[in-house]
Structure 1
């Protein structure tokens, strides 16, 4: 057995000591988290840590390659049950879709759209799902971008597409607030690594409109690509 597993279990002991006594008392019999976050499955993006989530029951966290909110079902595409569960059963009223700079899933999808790449079946399935929503974005990209610039604009486009899916679904309650952000650890938006930048609110992606409608978010609204 790898020493890294022992190290991981040791970290859990530290966690358990920090959370002893009454940290879980309020959520023993259920949960009602105000937020569900949908983040890309990437080891560089600490989904709970980036919002300093240390309170059990506060944030319902969902991770998926490419921060996808949808999946293939027997009857076609549908909003993922991972995302729907807190909205339908736990009184959650806000979804935060979190993309991130340099996203590997978006990169792979971009490369596959331009020139098919080989991937194992499971990864191929994820790429094919993303391709359905990103293909038009690749065509619409401004000319003259290098690959990194193209990828980071598609990261925003992907967040927009995931929000569109949520808004189009009859399964998502109408009064759900949906916010799209991009987590930047590569100095793409600013030199303050780790900030999330708001790129979409309830389907609105124009920064000026978002700022006008949500002045409390004004200092965090920023996009690389308005289309």
Structure 2
């Protein structure tokens, strides 16, 4: 048996011991308070970044590039895994979670600037990001280096995903849509693992957001107000 799997099973046994009674209220149905759309990155611990240990509280989705759309014969639509809790469990908060140093954003940047390609399955995902990031790549300041460009595009990508949710007829107006960036590279502050709010309902101006949401003003920040 693979040693890593053996270790995972042992940790799962500890999890089962700790969580044995925490499923009593959600065994038959779920009504999560939020749906989060995170990047599929081993450094982004989807529940742990919120300190969540409550089953049924957060409906977690992940894919490379924290995308909210999927491609169908009818065109690009809100992905079913994101839409499900909104449409069927009464969830009224959607949080798009980007992260510093995102590999999917980096790969998209390289594809748009240098024509770099990847395996077909990855290319399919990047093809959903390219049209949303292309204008952002063109608008990047000339005086930022590669890392700075990537992290600005992380924000830009979060904005575009928030926009896609807000513009979809499948997402009711009553659903709050928020965009955040998870930072483990000391980009926004020296508190690694902290989440920074960059977009609330399409509003991206930092001062406006701080005025509108004083209770979390210290957590609102952006690298790029384009």
- Unpaired runs of 5+ residues, structure 1, are none
Matches within 5 A, 1:65-214: 65-214=64-213
Secondary structure, aligned partner of 2:94: strand
Distance 2:35 2:127 in 1: 25
Q: Secondary structure at the match of 1:10?
A: helix
| Residue in 1 that maps onto 2:56 | 57
Say which SS state the counterpart of residue 65 (structure 2) adopts: helix
**Aligned-residue offset at 1:3:** 1.4
Counterpart CA distance in 2 for 1:222 and 1:120 is 35
2:5 — aligned with what?
5
Distance in 2, matches of 1:168 and 1:151, equals: 25
Superposed CA offset, 1:10-59 (max 9, x none): 11111101111x21010011011110000000001111001011000000
Residue 132 of structure 1, CA deviation = 1.1
Per the TM alignment, residue 74 of structure 1 is displaced from its structure 2 partner at its CA by 1.9
How far, CA to CA, are the matches of 2:206 and 2:6 in structure 1?
Answer: 47
- Once the two structures are superposed, residues 118-174 of structure 1 have per-residue CA deviations (whole angstroms, 9 ceiling, x without a partner) of 311000111111001000000001111110000000000000000000011000011
Q: Secondary structure at the match of 2:160?
A: helix
Consecutive unaligned residues of structure 2, counting only runs of 5 or more, are none
- Offset from partner CA, 1:156-205 (integer Å, 9 cap, x none): 00000000000110000111001111000000010111100000000000
In the other structure, the counterpart of 1:31 is 30
Would you identify which runs of 4 or more consecutive aligned residues in structure 1 move more than 3 Å? none
Q: Across the two proteins, how many residue pairs are aligned to each other? A: 226
TM-score scaled by structure 2?
Answer: 0.98
Per-residue deviation, residues 46-99 of structure 1 (Å, max 9, x unmatched): 110010110000000000100000010121100000110000100100001100
Distance 2:78 2:208 in 1: 27
Once residues 32 and 90 of structure 1 are traced to their aligned partners in structure 2, the CA distance between those partners, rounded to angstroms, is 5
Q: Secondary structure at the match of 1:224?
A: coil
Measure the CA separation in 1 of the matches of 2:117 and 2:95.
32
Secondary structure of the corresponding residue to residue 18 of structure 1: helix
Deviation of the 1:2 alpha carbon: 1.6
The whole-number CA distance in structure 1 between the counterparts of 2:64 and 2:4 is: 24
TM-score between both structures, scaled by the size of structure 1: 0.98
